Amino acid sequence: MKPWDAFGGDAVFRPLLHDFYARIKRSTIVHLFPPELIETEEKQFAFQSEFWGGPERYSPWRGHPRLRARHMPFAIDQTAADVWMSCMQEAVAHSAMPTEYRETFLQRMRLTAQAMINRSVADGAEHPF
List residues near ligand HEM by CB under 6 A. Answer: 29, 32-34, 39-40, 43-44, 47, 62, 67, 70-71, 74, 76, 80-81, 84, 109, 112-113, 116
Rounded Cα distance between 30 and 21, Å, is 9
**Is 72 or 96 the residue whose CB approaches ligand HEM more closely?**
72
**Least Å from the CB of residue 17 to ligand HEM:** 11
Crossing angle between the packed helical segments 78-93 and 9-25, to the nearest 10 degrees: 130
The SS3 of residue 127 is coil
Judged by beta carbon, residue 78 or residue 98, the one nearer ligand HEM is 78
